[in-house]
Amino acid sequence: MRRLRAFLRICFGYLTLVSLVVSIFMVRTFLWMRQHPQPNPWDSAGGRHLSSISFLSLSYFVRFIPLLMALTYGTAWWTLKQGRRSARGWSIAASILMILSTAALLTARLTLFNSGRHHFRGTYLLFQVFFLAVGILGLIVFSRTSSESIQSARKTRHRGDGTSAFLDLFVSGLALTGVWGGIIFYTRWGHAQNLPFIRGAVAWPIILLVIFLTICLHEAAHACVGLALGMKLRTFVVGPFQWRIRDGRWTYRFVPAGFLSFGGSTGIVSAKPNQSRWVEIAMISAGPLSNLIAGLLAVFLTVSARDQQWELYWEPTAFFALVNIVTFTINLVPFRPEALYSDGARIFQLLSGGPWAELHRVYSFVLSSSVTPLRPRNYDIQAINSAAAYFTSGREALMLRIFATSYFLDRNQIDEARAQFTEVTSMAQDAALSFPSDLLPSFVFNAVFLKRDALAARRYWDQFEAKTPTHFGVDYWLARSALHFIENHPLEARDAWNVGAALARELPIAGAYEFDRDRYRLMRDLLNSASPSDSQHPSVSSAKLLRMPARDCTLQVGSRKTSPDGNVPA
């Protein structure tokens, strides 16, 4: 549902810009007509009939309709972005307006104005049908969405991250204005040069292909430069296409909802702990720089297309240049779309020093455990505590407490680990906090191992299943075994343990995977040392648990590492 709301918000923003552009032309036409009055056919004998006055008033009102539409769409976009309580009402109003306006245009085009060039009729017909469907979708989504759920989607903003509400608004306006202005500019230039244009519905697949290639180029640049600097690739996502390392193996998944995001991500980790921040800055900068180089090359091909072999394809090339240059520009601005930070924001945080630079250093060290022998006991707890003192809410605070839980548990400091996990569970109850569902299986295990809390374990398991998991790896079977154990189902607990232990034995050699194998040893000892009835008596079972040797126990983030930009390199 959150993805659908984000997609609808993008549509509202797009229609805001379109309505503003149309209203500007309407106002210009109105002012020109006031300065250059034309003979009015509705005037009669120096006076005006009531019918002429009515039609004139209607014509003036029609000129201001685009401005009213821009205000409605813009308010819906802004209140959704800010998570305001009024967002639901404005979004429903915008959806109804979208349905009425597109339905009226479709009716007029199919009845009153059914003549004209075929390619314009086909293209605009698809355009209007699309937004009619979007309006119906918006009416359904926001009718079923409460104001509280929209408010909970409002993202938290930490001081010093380099972003602001103004920059978020500025980037949105810059992107929309840049794309529209660029299209108008190169279209006029193409007409002046008598270049061929692409007509009909085929233009839409070309637009989507250009956007996809731009995203792919951006993410590939991140990955290639990171690999060249000795880093390891763990995740590569472009739109609906997702490649991730799960349980030590590359997996592919097609997620149709990715079409709604028009974005991508690259999860790449350092193979050297405490790597220089300039290595990460170089990797981050590679994405926007690749877009700039590709955009400039496409500009050259566009302006030299006349009488060349690629003259027929000059328009897609011009659009490719436009999208890449806009992508380069907005990525250098520090802003935060949804839960992710832009490349410019991440570079700013690394260069600014202080808590944000410390946070990135902690993440880099933790992420390296998936490709090095490092264990949670090797974490810099002083750096974690220093960053945690600054980040007291949000995803960053949650992840820092999880890292601290891992550190103390790996050192067999059970009381300290339990205290940290208590903070984790308290933060996880925040409805506005969005974190990867891959964390939930580790929450189940921790609730059983550290707190012997059957109710919490069941709650986390139900939340995990509600997210319709598609990967059933070592974390899944360990959590399932722990849940069955705490709920006094010993046979099911052992069956789940056997399945997961077989998978754990096949994991590669790395600190994170060694931890997975150790957790299975801990779970085996727990199953062997406690009778099923003990699970109904937390005090007895806890005593037995604390007497057990730690067996080199460590805790990762569900065998998944989460980077500051929201990537989960599994």
Interval 406-450: pLDDT, tens: 889 888 888 999 999 999 988 888 755 666 788 899 999 999 999
- Residue 391 and residue 511 in one domain: yes
**CA atoms of 136 and 92, how far apart (whole Å):** 10
Residues paired with residue 46 on neighbouring β-strands, in sequence order: none
Residue 260: inside a domain: no
Q: Which residue has the tokens 């709301």?
A: 5
507 contacts: CB under 8 Å, gap ≥ 6: 247, 248, 474, 513, 516, 517
Contacts 24+ apart (CB under 8 A), 177-180: 177/17, 178/322, 178/325, 178/326, 178/329, 179/322, 179/323, 179/326, 180/17, 180/18, 180/21
Quote the number of domains for the chain: 3
Q: For residue 155, what is the DSSP state?
A: P
Q: What is the mean pLDDT of residues 74-86?
A: 80
Does 130 lie in the same domain as 32?
Answer: yes
Q: Given 348, 364, 397, which residue is the final one in a domain?
A: 348
* Same-domain check for residues 185 and 315: yes
In this prediction, residue 543 has a pLDDT band, given cuts at 50, 70 and 90, of very low
Same-domain check for residues 505 and 365 = yes
569 lies in some domain: no
- Per the document, the length of the chain is 570
For residues 30 and 80, is the Cβ–Cβ distance under 8 A? no
Which tokens sit at 198? 């692409």
In this predicted structure, what is the pLDDT of residue 1?
Answer: 64
Do residue 132 and residue 218 come from a single domain?
no
Q: H-type helices in 229-276, by residue range?
A: none
User: Is position 53 within any domain?
Assistant: yes
Claim to verify: residue 371 and residue 325 sit in the same structural domain: no
Q: What is the mean pLDDT of residues 227-239?
A: 92
Query: Chain-wide mean pLDDT for the chain?
Result: 80
In the block, which residue shows the tokens 């009835």? Answer: 533
Torsion angle, CA of 155/362/233/568, rounded to 10 degrees? -30
* Residue 486 and residue 392 share a domain: yes
Residue 532 has pLDDT above 60, yes or no: no
Find out whether 339 and 395 touch, Cβ atoms under 8 Å.
yes
Lowest model confidence (mean pLDDT) among 60-69, 99-108, 138-147, 345-354? 60-69
Which residues are within 8 A (CB) of 295 and not within 5 positions of it... i.e. 6 or more apart? Answer: 320, 321, 322, 323, 324, 325, 327, 328
Supply the range of the domain harboring residue 87. 2-154
Q: How confident is the model at residue 201 (pLDDT cuts 50, 70, 90)?
A: low
For residues 255 and 248, give the distance between their C-alpha atoms in angstroms, rounded to a whole number: 21
DSSP-derived 3-state class of residue 159: coil
The answer to whether 478 and 559 have CB atoms below 8 angstroms apart is no
In percent, the amount of the chain with pLDDT more than 70 equals 77
Q: Which residue has the tokens 């520009």?
A: 329
Residue 162 lies in a domain: no
Contact in structure between 14 and 176 (CB atoms under 8 Å): yes
Kindly state whether residue 372 falls inside one of the protein's structural domains.
Answer: yes
For residue 149, pLDDT over 90 is answered with no
Answer with the residue of higher pLDDT: 55 or 332: 332
The residues with which 266 forms a beta bridge, in sequence order, are 236
Whether residue 52 sits in one domain with residue 135: yes
Q: Is residue 513 part of a domain?
A: yes
pLDDT band at 11 (very low <50, low <70, confident <90, very high): confident
Six-digit token string for 241: 């296409």
pLDDT at 472 over 70: yes
Determine contact, residues 427/397, Cβ cutoff 8 Å: yes
Contact indicator for 298, 389 with CB cutoff of 8 Å: no
> Could you tell me the two tokens for 80?
């959704």
Q: What pLDDT score does 45 carry?
A: 47
Q: For residues 546 and 460, what is the distance between their CA atoms, to the nearest angstrom?
A: 23
Least confident range of 14-18, 135-139, 170-174: 14-18
> 262 in a domain, yes or no?
no
Confidence (pLDDT) at 546: 33
pLDDT of amino acid 290: 96
Residue at a domain's end among 154, 186, 209: 154
306 and 450 belong to one structural domain: no
Same domain membership, residue 514 and residue 386? yes
pTM of the prediction? 0.76
Domain end marker among 348, 364, 389: 348
Residues 148, 13, single domain; the answer is yes
Q: Is the pLDDT of residue 529 over 90?
A: no
pLDDT of 215 reads 93
Q: pLDDT-derived band of residue 325, with 50, 70 and 90 as boundaries?
A: very high
CATH code (residue 478): 1.25.40
388 and 426 co-located in one domain: yes
Q: Return the closest-CA partner of residue 197 out of 291, 82, 315.
A: 315
Q: What residue spans of 374-510 are helical by DSSP H?
A: 381-390, 394-410, 414-428, 440-449, 454-466, 474-486, 490-505
Task: Say which residue, 557 or 512, is predicted with more confidence.
Answer: 512
Tell me: pLDDT of 548 over 50: no
Distance CA 76, CA 67 (A): 14
Query: 260 versus 527: which is more confidently predicted?
Result: 527
Higher pLDDT, 17 or 368: 368
- How many Å apart are CA 299 and CA 558, to the nearest integer? 46
Distances (CA, A) of 536 to 477, 495, 522, 533: 21, 20, 19, 6
**Could you tell me the pLDDT band of residue 545, with boundaries at 50, 70 and 90?**
very low
In the predicted model, what is the mean pLDDT of residues 310-321? Answer: 92
Residue 120's pLDDT is: 45
Per-residue pLDDT band at 254 (split at 50, 70, 90): confident
47 forms beta bridges with 44
Kindly indicate the confidence band of residue 14, based on its pLDDT and cuts at 50, 70 and 90.
confident
HEC profile for 39-104? CCCCEECCEECHHHHHHHHHHHHHHHHHHHHHHHHHHHHHHHHHCCCCHHHHHHHHHHHHHHHHHH
CA angle 463, 469, 474 (to 5 degrees): 100
Is 6 a member of any domain? yes
pLDDT at position 488: 92
**Is residue 557 scored above 60 in pLDDT?**
no
Task: Determine contact, residues 325/302, Cβ cutoff 8 Å.
Answer: no
Given this model, what pLDDT does residue 285 score? 95
CB 148 within 8 A of CB 115: no
